[in-house]
Amino acid sequence: MAGTTGAVTTAGRKAAALGGRVLAGLSLAIVLLPLAARAAGDPVPLPHLRPDHLVSPRAATTAAIAPNPVTPTYSSDSRFTRDQQIALARINAYFNSFTTMQGQFIQFGPTGEQSEGVFFMSRPGKIRFHYSAPSRLDVIADGSSVAIEDGRANTQQLYPLSKTPLRYLLADRIDLTSDQLVDSIREEPDLISVLIVEKSALVEGKLALIFDRKTYELRQWIVTDAQGLNTSVAIYNVTLNKPVDQSLFRIQVKTSQNR
């Protein structure tokens, strides 16, 4: 783990933990807190705290991309049903149809704590979460590194992007039809949850990506930590494929920081 610049205060530790949770919520859990190994066939977590306005069809996404017709190929060897393979193919087509995304987010912690802010994504490799006041926290991925920056405590923590599962969301393309990547699917009347399992030498864990069942748009993600606690990030007022200022993803490394 990279070092920290500035005094490590209680407030600084709390802010870093908050940033780690939003990063974990997006990325299955950064190496800050490795997740426990999953048991075979773990269910997809239920969505946690879904305000109606966050999941209402179409209203949550502006400049949405019209879904292209998808003609999925079916595999009799797949553990997913024919209908599930169709759903995965359509989700995959949506997920790979944009390079930029921006909007607002609400994060729900495992004990009900709530924070919010705005986010900007530019694939491949770049994302930024900026928390609303009173927090002075930013989480930034610049294509090679991920930084958690706390302006109040004057701390900065750096991690290699390649060693965090952020690479799934920030990859140029991702194959959500792959049995090797997708562990299981949960279908609800208005949502489809797709479980991605991370199992490597460094991290084992799971991330649930939650999509609108009619539009296949991303609504939410949930990470489960080593204690079985869920952190949920819901996104809304989302705009796709709008130009994003690339300076938002610039990490200014502190002079005493060792990368």
Domains of the chain: 10-241 (2.50.20.10)
Round to whole Å and give the CA distance between 140 and 130: 9
Average pLDDT over residues 43-55: 46
Average pLDDT over residues 28-54: 39
* Res. 46: pLDDT tops 90: no
Q: What is the pLDDT of the chain when averaged over all its residues?
A: 75
Round to whole Å and give the CA distance between 234 and 96: 19
Note the residue count of the chain.
259
pTM above 0.95, yes or no: no
Q: What is the pLDDT of residue 230?
A: 79
Average pLDDT over residues 136-146: 93
Longest dimension (CA), the chain: 58
Q: Are 108 and 246 in contact (CB under 8 A)?
A: no
Q: What is the pLDDT of residue 69?
A: 58
- 56-110 residue pLDDT tens: 433 444 444 445 556 667 788 888 999 899 999 999 999 999 999 999 999 888 8
